[in-house]
Chains A and B, each alone.
Chain A
Amino acid sequence: MLYVELIAQGLIQGSIYALIALGLTLVYGLLRILHVAHAAFFTLGGYVGVVVANQTGSLAAAIVAAMIVAGLGGIVVFRLCYQPILHQPPFVPLIASIGLYIAAEELFRIVFGPSGLTYKYAFLQGEVELLGFLRFKTGELVVVFGSAAIIGVLSLLQTRTRIGVACQATVSDPQMAESFGISLSRVGDINFFVGSALAAFAGVMVSVLNNMVEPTMGSVPSYKALAIIVLGGLGSVRGTLVAALVLGVVESFGTIYLGHFLDRNAIAFAFLILVLMWRPQGLFARS
C-alpha cells in the first residue's frame, strides 16, 4: 500500500518535472543551447495565474492566461536574447541565459514584492479517494491527467500535422529544412511558445497546490530540469519524459527511506550522479 502511494506521489511530482523539462528539451534539440532562463516562465506562469485567478475567480482563465503570456514571453526571449547570438560558441547563450534568469527573478521581486502572493480562493483543494486507500488532492490529479493530455495532444500534433513534421525536420537537419522553405525563426517561435506555455501550466499548478507564488520558486526546478534532460539523453523528448517520472518516483521513495539525513533535492542529485557514472550519455541518448 505504501509503495503504491509513494509511486503515485512520485508520478505527480514527475509530471510537474516533465512539464518544465520538456521546454528545455525542445529548445536544446533545436538550438543546442541550455535554456536556464526557462524556469522563469514557470514562475511567470505562477504569477499570471494567481493574479488572473484572484481577479476573475476562474482557475481555467488563469491557466489559459498564464500559458499564453508565458508562451509569448518565450518567443520574445528567443527573438531578442538567443537569436542574435546563435552563431556564437555555446557558452555565450548559456551565460546570457543564466543572466536572464537572475534578472527575471529580480524583476518578479520588484513587480510583485519579495514575500510572495497567495490565492484568494481555494482551488482544487478537495480530496479524492481512489481504490479505497489512495487519497489525492483534486489539484494533484489535475496535474497528472492534465499534463498527460497536453503532452499526448502535442505528440499527435507533432506527428500528424505539417507544422509538426516541419519542426521535427528542423531538429534533424536545420540547413536542409531551410532548403525546403522552413523558416528556422518560425520553428523557434513554436518551440519557445509551446515549451514556455507548458512551464507556465506547471507554475500555475504548483502555486495552486502550495497556495504560494514567490520570486524564487523557479530556482530549484530550473536546475532539476537541467538534470532531467541530461538524464534523459540531451534532446530526446521521450527520454526527458521517462527521466522526469523516474526522478519523481526516486525522490518520493528517497524522502521516506533516506529523508532523515538527505533532503529531497540532495537525493535527486545523488541519483543523477549515480546514473551518469553508469551511463554518461544519459538513459536514452540519441544515436
Chain B
Amino acid sequence: MLRLERFSCGYGLFRAVSELELEVPHGTITGLIGPNGAGKSSTLMCVAGHVNLLAGSIVFDELDIGGLPATERVRRGIAIAPEGRRLFKDLSVEDNLRVGGLIHPAGRFKADRDYVLSLFPRLGERLGSLAANLSGGEQQMLSIGRALMARPKLIMIDELSLGLMPKMVDLCYDALLRLKQDGMTILLVEQNTDRVLSVADHVCVLESGHAVWSGNAADARNDPTLAAAYLGLH
C-alpha cells in the first residue's frame, strides 16, 4: 500500500531521515519505533506532505505521490493523527469531525461520524464540547476520529499513547484492532514499544534517521539483542 524507497526527508539542510526503506502492506499494522529524535515523526509528516522529501520516493497505491501537495494526499487516501494531536481547539468535537470529512460530500457526514462514534463512544457524549476542553485520552480519540472521517486507506498515528492514562491507551489500541479487522492499513509511531509489538504485524526501528532493524513483529519480540539494544525491553 505504502512504500518508501531510499527515502530521505528533512528541513532545509537538516536531514531527519536518510535512505529509509519501509513497506506498509495493505490491511496490516506497521509500527515505526525508536528513541526520541530518531526521525519517526518527520517520516509521517513527510508522507503527509508537510516535511520536504529530500531524496527517494513515496509510493502509495503504486503511484509516486512525493510531488503532491498535502491537500491532494488526503484525497488519495492518506490521513494523519499527528504528534501532539493538533486538534482545532476552538471548534467543537463535532466540528473537528466535520473538518475531517470535508473532502467528502456533506451527505456522508452522519454515517461516517457514527462509525467513528462506534469506535470511540466517549466522543459521542462530548460532541458539543470544545476540543480544547477534552481530556488527553479524548483528544487522542478525536484526533484519530478526525483522520478516519477522511475515510482513508492508510491512517498514520503519531505517539498514540504519549501522556495518556493506561485505560485510555487500552481503549485506543482496541480501536486499532477493530480498524484492522475492518480492513484499515495503519502506520503507527510509538515510543511505547511493548504496546506496538503487541498489535503490530511489522516493525521498523529507527535510530538517528536510519533504519536499524525491520521485519516481523513476532521476530522482534523474540530477538533478545534487538530488545536490549533498541527497544528497552526487559
Using a CB–CB cutoff of 8 Å, the interface residues on chain A facing chain B are 162, 165-166, 168-169, 172-173, 175-183
Contacts and interface: CB of A to CB of B under 8 A. Distances in A.
Interface in B144-191: 146, 150
- Number of chain B interface residues as a range: 20 to 34
A181 B150 contact: yes
Contacts of B48: 179
B67 interface: no
Contact of B99 (A175, A180, A183): A180
B229 to A, nearest CB: 34
A10 to B, nearest CB: 30
A183 B98 CA distance: 16
A178 B79 CA distance: 11
Given A162-B102, A181-B102, A181-B150, A168 B71 contact: no
B91 A169 contact: yes
A181 B74 contact: yes
Given A172-B89, A172-B90, A180 B146 contact: yes
Contacts of B99: 165-166, 169, 177, 180, 182
A172 B74 CA distance: 19
A168 B50 contact: no
B84 to A, nearest CB: 10
Contacts of A173: 86-88
- Please list the 5 inter-chain residue pairs (A to B) with the smallest Cβ-Cβ separation, ordered nearest first: A181-B103, A172-B88, A178-B70, A169-B99, A169-B88
B116 interface: no
Given A179-B48, A179-B79, A181-B75, 15 more contacts: A162-B98, A165-B95, A168-B90, A169-B91, A172-B88, A172-B89, A173-B86, A177-B99, A178-B70, A178-B71, A179-B49, A179-B73, A180-B103, A181-B71, A181-B150
B106 interface: yes
Nearest to A185: B71
Contacts of A168: 88, 90-91, 95
A110 to B, nearest CB: 40
The interface centre, meaning the residue of A172, A180, A183 with most chain B CB atoms within 10 A of its CB, is: A180
Contacts of B69: 178
B34 interface: no
A178 B150 CA distance: 12
Interface of B: 48-50, 69-71, 73-75, 79-80, 82, 86-91, 95-96, 98-100, 102-103, 106, 146, 150
A41 B86 CA distance: 35
A175 B73 CA distance: 13
Contacts of A183: 71
A176 B82 contact: yes
B132 to A, nearest CB: 9
A169 B82 CA distance: 15
5 contacts: A169-B88, A172-B90, A176-B82, A176-B86, A182-B71
B80 A172 contact: no
The interface centre, meaning the residue of A162, A172, A177, A179 with most chain B CB atoms within 10 A of its CB, is: A179
A28 to B, nearest CB: 16
A189 B52 CA distance: 26
B138 to A, nearest CB: 18
A179 B146 CA distance: 11
Contacts of B100: 180
A284 to B, nearest CB: 13
B50 A179 contact: yes
A180 B74 contact: yes
A247 to B, nearest CB: 25
Contacts of A178: 49-50, 69-71
Nearest to B131: A172
Nearest to A287: B132
Nearest to A173: B86
A165 B48 CA distance: 22
The interface centre, meaning the residue of B70, B71, B99 with most chain A CB atoms within 10 A of its CB, is: B99
A179 B155 CA distance: 12
A182 B72 CA distance: 10
Contact of B50 (A165, A169, A175, A182): A175
Contacts of B91: 165, 168-169, 172
Contacts of B70: 175, 178-179
A217 to B, nearest CB: 35
B74 A179 contact: yes
Contacts of A165: 91, 95, 98-99
